[in-house]
Amino acid sequence: MSEPQMTQAPKAAGENAERRLNMIDAINDAMDIMLERDPDVIVMGEDVGYFGGVFRATAGLQEKHGKTRVFDTPISECGIIGVAVGMGAYGLRPVPEIQFADYIYPGLDQLVSEAARLRYRSATEFIAPMTVRSPFGGGIFGGQTHSQSPEAMFTHVSGLKTVIPATPYDAKGLLIAAIEDNDPVIFFEPKRIYNGPFSGYYDKPVEPWKKHKDSVVPEGYYRIPLGKARHVAQGEALTVLAYGTMVHVAEAVCANKGIDADILDLRTLVPLDIEAIEASVEKTGRCLIVHEATRTSGFGAELSALVTERCFYHLEAPVERVTGFDTPYPHSLEWAYFPGPVRIGEAIDKIMSE
Amino acid sequence: MAGDSEVASGGSNKPALALHVPEPKYRPGDTADFSHIDIGEAGALSRPDEASAPADMSDFAYSLVRVLGEDNQAHGAWDPKLDADTLRTMLGNMALVRAFDERMFRGQRQGKTSFYMKCSGEEATSVAAGMALASDDMVFPSYRQQGILISRGYPLVDMINQIYSNKADKLKGRQLPIMYSARDYNFFSISGNLATQLPQAVGWSMASAIKGDTRIAATWVGEGSTAEGDFHSACTFATVYNAPVILNVVNNQWAISSFSGFAGSERTTFAARALGYGMAGLRVDGNDALAVFAAQQWAANRARSNGGPTLIEYFTYRAEGHSTSDDPSGYRSAQEQDEWPLGDPITRLKDHLIAIGEWDEDRQAAMDQDCADRVKAATKEAEKNGILGHGLHHPFRTMFEDVFEELPWHLKEQAEQATREREIKWPDEHPKDGAGK
């Protein structure tokens, strides 16, 4: 039985132990460190070079590491992923950015048919050790082309790993682990929480990361292993499975309702920390799954099936899913769409009443 | 459907719009006549400097580089002036490819494997082009470039093991026959999805340039799949980064049953696609091994000296079906192959060697016999490792290996299930060692 890692303020050496970063700066720090450590790492994507990325995730990296290590690309996701496959075959470790997850589809064939299967089809002669970074999720009034959460499309593909951080500390450690991983990794960054954790109460002021315990990001290299969930809160009444932005929303709702919830931030969807999930559900007997993506065939369906198959005799209530609706992400009705406190609260009430 | 058009145009006097659906000139039963194709004269074209600006050599995208003339002599500035030994090696490689194709096609018909693809009539586009590259240049082939592997000396028996998906298949029986991978021979894993290898080749060559390496990349694609977005992404990246890469388009006129018009050949040439990107474009007689070699060498020199990428269209003809699953008599004139104005690449190189006094029919017959014998011996050797569907496959557990570098829990569980199923489905096989008989 694996013990999910507790998040704690990391004790780094020296006076920088309390350095606090937002998620963007933590991601930038991870790439900076890997560019420094490994001459085979390159960073590329639309607007990532001189300008430093539309979300500033690569700011300063080209100036520091040079134009052949960090550079802009044509607006061609097919090309970006395709050349990354070839670079991986050469021996590089590319970190392509797809500017929004909504733009990833032109690169899908190169990801699904090529990167994901190269190790298998060539019997390890060639691999595609790339980390595809991409901001995903809604909550920034991005409309239907800047808000999607397509993670389930990638978890469905054998050969791809899917990683989603929820804190600055995790973002850095997981991104370093992803870059060092020899398999292709889809690294979705919840852009709603780039600058601060989001409680889901959209009409309340945004809290900056510096007030959050997990914004302490030590300098230098560290990694968080892929496939290990994070225990956000220990509780007895209810298991909450979430990732990305929804970790914070679910945490806030449980706190407001006074629910003694056992909250797991999955961090990695494939490979999934099934032991942590089983241990939690066996303890609480109730399970709520929260994601922002559309409901039908979403990753919540997989989680629900796994919990039902493996923990059925521990369950005291049906597994509940809280998700986005099965519509495109609407612009003006964003907060009607978003699976916020009302939807989560209703689901919790239902589970707890059983 | 004039009535519909009148309705659709709403009774106005604007002309009704008409959709053009391309149609090949000849269908089954038609008499093929290719006299409308302007093939030019061997030796007629100049050879531009490898550093030429693409705009200054745009004519080469519309004409045809040819070296071997009707008189079987090499002509003009594109003659690569290869010595007789090299020419004989080239001829021998092409003959071996053809002998290999014949035997593997027959093997599929005999039920030894599921699938095969010949490259008959197109041997020069892989053999001669491959020989113009350095052995450590990286090639990203399509599915019809077995000529490169054979030219690089890859063992025939390993090719056949892959085709049979047997227990000695280096790809563990995972890939459709002929989707080879040979890292030690700088031959990239063949996908089976079309044109995906183009941006990958560009990316490999970009990596080589990032590292200050000296090796270049070359890739092959059929004319039909130049319609894929990957082709255009590759052209864009290749020119944007001035990548040391050669993009070879094998225009064999047919994409399964769709003639090249469905990839745009009614409007322009495939070499001319280069011009819009500011890339050097060459259009070459693909059945002329000397012209193919010369063009690939030109592009390789250009790439090696940081002159940038080249798009080469090899104008050739797919003399046989797309694959063992295809019967071209259902969609094209059987006469086309005989009427093809650029002949057969093996015959033309053989006739050239004879014309320059370096070869004769007896030696050709002996060489053909030797090729057939070598293929036969390799086939017998490979059959000891099994043929498809006869039990001599890789162990079951290998199905789950290499999806990831490490086996995650869900694949471990599924591997255990597969093992349980095996003991029920095939109880006579060894139950514990995980291997089939």
**Rounded to whole angstroms, how far apart are CA atoms A71 and A14?**
34
CB spacing of B233 vs A79 below 8 angstroms: yes
A contacts of B208 (beta carbons < 8 Å): 90
Residue B269 CB contacts under 8 Å (≥ 6 apart), including other chains: B61, B62, B283, B313
Supply the DSSP string of B188-250, one letter for each residue. PPP-SSSSTHHHHHHHHHHHHHHTT----EEEEEESGGGGSHHHHHHHHHHHHTT-SEEEEEE
Is residue A258 exposed (0-12), middle (13-18) or buried (19+ Cβ within 10 Å)? Answer: exposed
Average pLDDT over every residue of B206-217: 98
Partner-chain residue, chosen from A79, A109, A182, that has the shortest CB–CB distance to B237: A79
**Rounded to whole angstroms, how far apart are CA atoms B153 and B377?**
16
CB spacing of B188 vs A158 below 8 angstroms: no
**Rounded to whole angstroms, how far apart are CA atoms A78 and B231?**
10
CB spacing of A271 vs B404 below 8 angstroms: yes
pLDDT for B266 equals 97
Nearest chain B Cα distance for residue A124, angstroms: 7
Supply the DSSP string of A60-117, one letter for each residue. THHHHH-TTTEEE--S-HHHHHHHHHHHHHHT-EEEEE-SSGGG-GGGHHIIIIIGGG
Please, are residues B217 and B138 in contact by the beta-carbon 8 Å criterion? yes
CB spacing of B234 vs A82 below 8 angstroms: yes
B contacts of A113 (beta carbons < 8 Å): 191, 193, 196
B contacts of A79 (beta carbons < 8 Å): 199, 202, 230, 233-234, 236-237
pLDDT for A325 equals 98
Nearest chain A Cα distance for residue B162, angstroms: 11
CB spacing of A114 vs B210 below 8 angstroms: no
CB spacing of B210 vs A85 below 8 angstroms: no
Bridge partners for B435 per DSSP:
none
All residue ranges of chain A with pLDDT < 50 are 1-2, 6-15
pLDDT in tens, B18-61: 999 999 999 999 999 999 999 999 999 999 999 999 999 999 99
- Of the candidates A258, A265, A259, A354, the one whose C-alpha atom is nearest the C-alpha of residue A315 is A354
**Rounded to whole angstroms, how far apart are CA atoms B125 and B75?**
19
Interface test with B, best of A42, A78, A95, A157 (most B CBs within 10 A): A78
A:B CB pairs within 8 Å: 143
Nearest chain B Cα distance for residue A155, angstroms: 12
Please, are residues B162 and B104 in contact by the beta-carbon 8 Å criterion? no
pLDDT in tens, A236-281: 999 999 999 999 999 999 999 999 999 999 999 999 999 999 999 9
pLDDT in tens, B355-406: 999 999 999 999 999 999 999 999 999 999 999 988 778 888 899 999 999 9
3-state SS string over B341-396? CCCCHHHHHHHHHHHCCCCCHHHHHHHHHHHHHHHHHHHHHHHCCCCCCCCCCCCH
Active-site positions of A read 146
Nearest chain B Cα distance for residue A167, angstroms: 25
pLDDT for B10 equals 64
Distances in whole angstroms, Cα of residue A3 to Cα of each of A176, A246, A277, B282, B286: 22, 22, 11, 62, 63
CB spacing of A76 vs B171 below 8 angstroms: no
Mean per-residue pLDDT of chain B: 95
For B202, nearest residue in chain A (alpha carbons)? A83
pLDDT for B56 equals 97
**Rounded to whole angstroms, how far apart are CA atoms A231 and A16?**
25
Tell me the whole-structure pTM to 2 decimals: 0.95
Q: Which residue has the higher pLDDT, B422 or B203?
A: B203
pLDDT for B430 equals 56
Complex prediction ipTM: 0.95
